Structure 1
């Protein structure tokens, strides 16, 4: 099942996004914060990491090297785990609780690059905050890879060290009838053309949440919003065939409209478009599935062991329409569902990946990195939703209380990353604090939208119960 990588052997980067992320212009790092229930035993933690599947994976003991033609490769090297452990005896200030202290640390970490002189990962241990932060360079893998690895290493439902899961069989688009085929082809052409235009010259109009020049170098601030998955499920059931991702996109759309109404109502037009980049998982047969659209994560080990940890993603453009009036949040969810239903019928995500692959193969990774950077700069925000372990996991016998993920600074003023874990979902709201001065208010706009959805669904449920029994 696994190909053994010999010491010193060179392995080519097997994903266009991996090659792009290896460039200095798109030098992104994933920061995965893992909260622990009890105080951290450093020796036990080190022993658990040293014996885990993560350490045995070739990507975690490979250097990123460049050959004489400027192409990037992985080079297998001996691993010294002590080089990757960073111990911080960090404690909250008098004005902070543990969560604010962790978010402040992650905000600073978002501006910190990763050394290329060793394999591209490290584990920072915040002893006083009972938190560990797994940092993995984005050229190594994507967020779904990180969550799969955590489940495979520390979860309970494993088969031979891998996640026990059989993916759902999906119909191919040519099996859905002539009309469906024609619609898929037409929408793919339309959305593909829009994606190409966005790569080159089409840009969002300026608003109070737009980024500026070199915004990826500006200081960040991070706020966490917590949801219960059962609440998201109840909202999802209120709208036929909606998904949890539709609920997330709907509450973000509603929250942003409310924030803009409060901050800068002048100069905004009802229906004005704000564009979000949404990463899409391409590991399964589903065409336009958000990173995990109500399905379980793909098993580490279904592909070759050396290549399973990679960036198997595409990108889609999700339009968010500003609402001048007080539109009910469920209307935003219905609109998000309608848009995503169209996106799921297309090959927009596959087109983005194939286009980037063609560009990097013909013109080099630097040009691909420039194109990727242009796409991000021409949009306003990025949204991801990743399904983490759905049962509680533990590291060295210490139960994990939360799992959160965010990226290093992007060319946008807002990045939103949600991870679900053991019945809860945490949304990380990362902002450029010189543009969005009050991220707590922005977070409140999202929270209030969600609470309004929940209240509306509960009220309608009570009406249905009364009709049934009276």
Structure 2
């Protein structure tokens, strides 16, 4: 079984809330618009004795891919394709690439401090999108030291949504427990 993840990579430098506020205060133009590429990562499926082995392997692979030119090449290639073939051609290319992936992953770095909108504090931020032709789409957003996972699933491919949710929770608990044991073992040494 071949599984691939399509990971969206933001190509803009990360600006914090403070940096944007300073730019607005100094009347510096804040650049708007999308600037992202993607990387394709092969996924290995299987159980290992230590769940952290899988995390370390995935992290190493992600870091290598994110620091390669793959995401920048996909961004510039998509811009070129858009100029040559228009929106319909670019949409067909995007659909072709995304339909060949099993999972789409996106992570968004949110503000570190809690913010409010019209005087009402925001409890959480959960970005997502629809119409993406993969089996599973996972968005991860950090906001005020909390992580929010938004998972969108094609019911035709994953019929038991409750089981998928339970599997996600069980996997995170195994990883958390393994990390806790590793931290304790390191302190004892």
TM-score clears 0.5: yes
Query: Over residues 120-139 of structure 1, what are the superposed CA-to-partner deviations in whole Å (9 max), with x where a residue is unaligned?
Result: xxxxxxxxxxxxxxxxxxxx
Does residue 1:313 correspond to 2:36, yes or no? Answer: yes
Q: What is the alpha-carbon distance in structure 1 between the residues aligned to residue 182 and residue 54 of structure 2? A: 18
Given the alignment of the two structures, is residue 427 of structure 1 paired with residue 136 of structure 2, yes or no?
A: no
Asked if the contact 1:417/1:429 (under 8 Å) is kept, the reply is: yes
Corresponding residue for residue 280 of structure 1: 9
Shift of 1:463: 2.7
Conserved 8 A contact 2:8-2:36: yes
Q: Give 1:384's match in structure 2, choosing from 106, 110, 114.
A: 106
When normalised by structure 1's length, the TM-score is 0.37
Give the direction of change, closer, same or farther, for the CA distance of 1:373–1:397 in structure 2 (3 Å limit): same
- Is the contact between residue 273 and residue 322 of structure 1 (CA under 8 Å) also seen in structure 2? no
- 1:83-137 alpha-carbon deviations (Å, 9 max, x no partner): xxxxxxxxxxxxxxxxxxxxxxxxxxxxxxxxxxxxxxxxxxxxxxxxxxxxxxx
Query: Which residue in 2 is equivalent to 1:193?
Result: none
Q: Shift of residue 317 of structure 1?
A: 0.6
Q: Does 1:441 align with 2:170?
A: no
Show the counterpart of 2:74: 352
Go from structure 1 to structure 2 and tell me whether the alpha carbon gap of 1:299 and 1:280 turns closer, same or farther (over 3 Å shift). farther
User: How many Å separate the matches in 1 of 2:66 and 2:117?
Assistant: 37
| Cross-structure match for 1:28 | none
Tell me the equivalent position of 2:127: 405
Partner of 2:186: 464
Q: 8 Å contact 1:329–1:450 — kept in the other structure? A: no
**C-alpha separation between the residues in 1 aligned to 2:81 and 2:105?**
25
Higher RCO (Cα < 8 Å, 6 or more apart): 1
For residues 22-421 of structure 1, the aligned pairs below 5 Å read 272-284=1-13, 296=16, 299=20, 304-305=29-30, 308-323=31-46, 325-421=47-143
- The question of whether the paired residues in 2 share the 8 Å contact of 1:404 and 1:419 is answered with yes
Report the RMSD for the aligned CA atoms in angstroms: 2.3
TM-superposed deviation, 1:327:
4.6
Q: Which runs of 5+ in 2 are unaligned?
A: none
Shift of 1:404: 0.6
- Whichever of the two has the greater Rg, that structure is 1
Q: Give the 3-state SS of the residue equivalent to 1:364 in structure 2.
A: helix
Q: Deviations over 1:415-450 (max 9, x none)?
A: 111111111111011112233122222122222222
User: Structure 1 residue 326: deviation in Å?
Assistant: 4.4
Call closer, same or farther: CA 1:466–1:327 in 2, change over 3 Å: closer
Normalised TM-score (structure 2): 0.86
Deviation of 1:461 after TM superposition, in Å, equals 2.4
SS in 2 for 1:405: coil
Structure 1 position 452 matched with structure 2 position 188: no
In structure 2, relative to structure 1, the CA distance for the partners of 1:342 and 1:465 (3 Å cut) is: closer
Aligned-pair CA distance for 1:462: 2.4
Q: Residue deviations 1:353-386, cap 9 Å, x none? A: 1111111112222211111111011111210010
Whether the 8 Å CA contact 2:51–2:178 is kept in 1: the answer is: no
